Structure 1
């Protein structure tokens, strides 16, 4: 199963760890530290030019997605037909 994160970015559902609203980055010291470390390690990727609405944490990267966390969570439970 695959999940479309926006733009041309698609990930395998098996790589997915968590999907968060982007506001979590500012609301928690732990999440802020996690994202700061991912940036330092060059493990972040912004998808598209739009304002990010969600953070998608995978095994290897943290993606800033322009798609809402609610929509991404729905997509995570539906197979993507390719």
Structure 2
């Protein structure tokens, strides 16, 4: 299955490591450091011309990528079909 991240970008759901809210997670120094390092290593793909709301970490063909999206993390999680609370299964 594929997940649309914005603009003309889709990723395979099996490649997704995590979907994160950019506003809440960027408060952490370690997350800011991770994103800065990913940017420095040219692993960040900005798929948004608008204010970013989330970022998605993927592992594609053994290489990590970070996608910045204008779509909220909650919407991306719903679209991806991931289960938020495993106890409801």
Same fold (TM > 0.5): yes
Q: Does 1:66 align with 2:70?
A: yes
Tell which has more relative contact order, 1 or 2 (C-alpha 8 A, sep 6+): 1
Cα distance, 1:30 vs structure 2: 1.1
**Unaligned 5+ residue runs, structure 1?**
none
Match for residue 22 of structure 1? 22
CA distance in 2, matches of 1:48, 1:35: 16
Larger Rg: 2
**Unaligned 5+ residue runs, structure 2?**
83-89
Match for residue 39 of structure 1? 39
TM-score by structure 2 length? 0.82
TM-score by structure 1 length? 0.88
In the TM superposition, structure 1's runs of 4+ consecutive aligned residues that sit over 6 Å from their partners are none
- 1:1-23 alpha-carbon deviations (Å, 9 max, x no partner): 11010111000011100111111
Please report the RMSD computed on the Cα atoms of aligned residues, expressed in angstroms: 1.2
Name the SS of the counterpart of 1:67 in structure 2: coil
Give the stretch that moved more between structures: 63-72 or 46-55: 46-55
CA distance in 1, matches of 2:18, 2:41: 19
